[in-house]
Amino acid sequence: MSDSRIRSYAPGRVNLIGEHTDYNLGFALPIALDLGTTADFEPDPGTGTVVAESDGEPEVVTIGPDTAPGDVSGWGAYIAGCIWALRTAGHEVPGGRLRIGSTVPVGAGLSSSAALECAVLLAMTAHLELSRHELARLAQRAENDYAGAPTGLLDQLSSLFGQQDTALLIDFRSLEVEPVPLPVDESAQLLVIDSHAPHRHAAGEYAARRASCEAAAAELGVASLREADDDAWRRLPEGHNRARARHILTENARVLAATEALAAADFATAGELMNASHDSMRDDFEITTPHIDLIAAIAQQLGSHGARMTGGGFGGSVIALAPAPAAERICADLPKAITDAGHPAPTVRRVRPGRGAHLL
């Protein structure tokens, strides 16, 4: 083993509130998870080629120095995308061997791809002085322009700026990240309920929502929905774009209100805002499914402060904020209620805000 070996870690994320607000330059309140991805990079100055393998994947991926979008698909695309983003931004990256291990479940809407990108970028740029914001932008470029997913910066900023027992209020216009203490205790526990629903059509629907928001902003004569006043959606004609804009504008207000409520340990108010966020994603943004609605409704009925779908939509996970007894009930009773309704058994995980990406 050479001593130039570099190990890094980057977590997945779960968003407490503020969905699809990132590319609208609004607000979100995510946490980094205590689940993450490690990258073990052994640079080889003799080659420009990266040979990558992952504990969770059968195939070894070879990425040439001139890799370009379209060359590599599947999980390797996120790594190739990082190498491509670094090189096209003018950074020198050596080849070598890369080994990936992860505890972030794939397909659960917990940003396993951002965790992979951030771990790889951190390990490969240990010799460069790049800021966390630069790393986030490079990861986003890998995701948007190499892997082909038109996502915002929520996942990467959460992974890179995470702090233990702390939520992150992100302003996507200034890219400021403000820590909001969130100790997990008897009165407030966090559960992530993975539906195991396949994200069918999710990519096309995500792009369609983004296009609707851009169209709504253009109709209102503003550069982004962040520049519109809270009631601006009322000036749009009835239809999809108006409903999409109403979700974004009301969601930004809910993020700020939930941040204040959490900071005051007012979990009842924070929970009500989470429930309202779910309703807005269901009725105005139309990104939930009956299966996900049922999981959120049952988590709410079992006594959580609040529960909502988290992430891009059309599957993935529900996040619940619950006092300890309700958290117990959700773990014990929710899976059966969901299988009784004919859906696959969900996985319920207790999580807490974890540390952000770092070198090991």
Binding site for ligand GLA (CB under 6 A): 15, 19-20, 22-23, 151-152, 154-155, 311-312
Rounded CA-CA distance 8/14 in Å is 20
Q: Is 155 a catalytic residue?
A: yes
Q: How far is the CB of 157 from ligand GLA (least distance, A)?
A: 9
Rounded CA-CA distance 206/169 in Å is 23
Which residues partner with 171 through β-bridges? 27, 176
Residues in contact with 149: Cβ distance below 8 Å, sequence separation at least 6, in sequence order: 113, 143, 203, 206
Give burial (CB, 10 Å; 0-12/13-18/19+) of 221: exposed
Q: Active site residue: 40, 66, 71, 155, which one?
A: 155
Give whichever of 214 and 328 is closer to ligand GLA, judged by the CB atom: 214
Q: How far is the CB of 75 from ligand GLA (least distance, A)?
A: 16
Rounded CA-CA distance 199/197 in Å is 6
DSSP state of 225: G
Give whichever of 15 and 54 is closer to ligand GLA, judged by the CB atom: 15
Rounded CA-CA distance 239/102 in Å is 42
Phi, psi dihedral angles at 264 (to 5 degrees): -95, 10
Alpha carbon separation from 8 to 69, 113, 145 (Å, rounded): 25, 15, 24
CA gyration radius for the chain? 20
Give whichever of 15 and 304 is closer to ligand GLA, judged by the CB atom: 15
Rounded CA-CA distance 103/105 in Å is 6
Give whichever of 20 and 254 is closer to ligand GLA, judged by the CB atom: 20
Residue whose entry in the numeric block shows the structure tokens 């740029």: 125
Phi, psi dihedral angles at 201 (to 5 degrees): 60, 5
Tokens of 54: 């992952």
Q: How far is the CB of 290 from ligand GLA (least distance, A)?
A: 20
Q: Given its phi and psi angles, is residue 274 left (phi above 0), alpha (psi -120 to 50 degrees) or beta?
A: alpha
Give whichever of 98 and 319 is closer to ligand GLA, judged by the CB atom: 319
Q: How far is the CB of 167 from ligand GLA (least distance, A)?
A: 15
Give whichever of 11 and 323 is closer to ligand GLA, judged by the CB atom: 11
Catalytic positions: 155
